[in-house]
Chains A and B, each alone.
Chain A
């Protein structure tokens, strides 16, 4: 079954990726095709199988609460596409929007 236009647009909104109309159609086609291949997984009985999120079984990896020097302000800001004073500058973010 082919993904709906709305579905593609919704995922693009979540991922914050702008799409042209052409992109939307192409993604409907390609993503549907790829997802179709994934249905093979439904054959597998995983009722008693735990999920694996990490392939090496580590636990309790923590660091001590010790302060180390931060980077210089210049190093932090040097790649900024837009700066103002010692800040990154962005388009207006209305309070609590989003």
Chain B
């Protein structure tokens, strides 16, 4: 039997507000000592009351708009009750029946096919404290609680069950993350847990329209993990159905090291969240003018930027797509392009764009991947890269030397000129000097010279290579070609 996979994703993204969702503690807890970004409110002390962070609401409206959602005029907060040691109040202030955004979509492309993934809802809630497991020398096993993270604003984005493959799920997540990064509302860092994903997955015979028992998969900490976990789960469910087992509706956790999902059912669990309207927070009426104001502040989104790159810089759809697929990369690209250097007038831009695109998508990306780095952390600034490109453009160094210089810049952060100086890479373009070297090469390679004269093209390359070697790669290849032909045709 052929099966179809049905996947829906729930994404939680921490918002980049300065303060927490319901109290004025700093939300930037990443490098803070334990329990230092905490006040009575986020600790859930007796007597405290929450207050709504306006910026978090604005960020959520902005995200919902970018996801093509409707923003209903009425929204409110609700208490979601589930006692757990990481939940300070014993309930989470979330949103139940009136979320901030509803009925949106995000388009993703897999295998050349464009598909709209429906967005059911976008709502606001708060993060929980961090539990860590410990053992001590007495053999005791216990947990410790750091409350710094509790109360950091979390935006939840729930998709429709429109996703049909683990690869499509991965594409959706990457696209969503890029979108949030463009909006500047979240770092989207999955490894650090500021962008988290739970998945609902079921399978059904292809052609059937019924939904089968779905499994919720949790604990996936990278895009790769999502792909692996869903692929595993798809296969597990298929095998189960094929051997006539019933799929149980349950929550399963992804175990990265073993590459499997395991059931998280527990006799202790009882799920009845008993949502009710949060009495401490009056509802919000989101006026059309507020939505318009947020809409007017929407930055350029990935698709718009891609179109602009194609239009203004005459880049191919492929290059523009790759460059704008990461906000940081696109920002870097434009910082270089607009950073002076060889682009002396607007008409030079497409030419430089092409060169720059090749550098960023070629050498730069290669080195970033090889060293497992992000462009935001690179040691080469846009201005420094421009300086290098200038040296090449002006003929001070040739392309081969340029690549070597770039690698060292990438590793050490040294300016290009300094490296060129230290390594003596200045291009030799002096015709007299080059003629002398060429004549030496001709004298030493009579066979190649004969071949050349007999019309063998490879011989030309060989002779140029010998000249380069003799000049330790510094010779201006164009001039060498020219001179070589002139001398040998004499």
A16 surroundings in chain B (CB, below 8 A): 83
A89 to B34, CA, bound (A): 12
Residues of chain B contacted by A90 (CB below 8 angstroms): 85, 131, 142-145
Contacts A61-B51, A96-B253 given; does A67 touch B18 at CB 8 Å? yes
- Out of B19, B81, B253, name the residue touching A68 (CB < 8 Å): B19
B56, A65: Cβ atoms closer than 8 Å: yes
Please name all residues of chain A whose beta carbon is closer than 8 Å to the beta carbon of B146 when the two chains form the complex: 87
- Given known pairs A63-B52, A87-B145, A89-B144, the reply for A98 and B269 (CB within 8 Å) is yes
Q: Give the contact-size bracket for chain B.
A: 35 or more
Smallest distance from the beta carbon of B105 to chain A beta carbons, Å?
Answer: 28
| B277 closest partner in A (C-beta) | A53
> Within 8 Å of chain A (Cβ to Cβ): is B231?
no
Do the beta carbons of A70 and B57 come within 8 Å of each other?
A: no
Interface residues on A, range: 35 or more
A58 within 8 A of B: yes
Q: Given A59-B283, A67-B26, A86-B33, A96 and B264 touching (CB < 8 A)?
A: yes
List, in ascending order, chain A residues with CB within 8 A of B40's CB.
71
Instruction: Please measure, in the bound complex, the distance between the C-alpha atom of A68 and the C-alpha atom of B27, giving whole angstroms.
Output: 11
Interface status of A43 (Cβ within 8 A of chain B): no
Residues in A42-98 with C-beta less than 8 Å from chain B: 53-54, 58-68, 70-71, 73, 76-77, 84-93, 95-98
CA distance A84 to B146 in the complex (A): 11
**Given the complex, which residues of B lie within 8 Å of A87, measured CB to CB?**
34-35, 132, 144-146
B301 within 8 Å of A (CB atoms): no
A residues near B52, Cβ cutoff 8 Å: 61-63
Cβ–Cβ contact B279 & A53, under 8 A = yes
Chain A CB within 10 Å, residue with most, of B24, B40, B86, B264: B24
- Within B36-60, the residues touching A (CB, 8 Å) are 36-40, 43, 51-57
User: Which residues of chain B have C-beta atoms less than 8 A from A60's C-beta?
Assistant: 282, 284-285
Residue pairs across A and B with Cβ atoms less than 8 A apart, 22 shown, are A10-B270, A14-B274, A53-B276, A54-B282, A59-B285, A60-B282, A63-B54, A64-B55, A65-B18, A65-B54, A65-B55, A86-B35, A87-B35, A88-B144, A92-B133, A92-B142, A92-B143, A93-B133, A93-B143, A95-B133, A97-B269, A98-B266
New A-B pairs, 20, CB < 8 Å, besides A70-B39, A88-B147: A13-B270, A15-B83, A53-B276, A59-B285, A62-B51, A65-B17, A67-B19, A67-B25, A67-B26, A68-B25, A76-B43, A85-B144, A86-B35, A87-B34, A90-B131, A90-B142, A90-B145, A92-B142, A93-B86, A97-B264
- Leading 3 A-B pairs by shortest Cβ distance: A65-B55, A87-B144, A58-B282
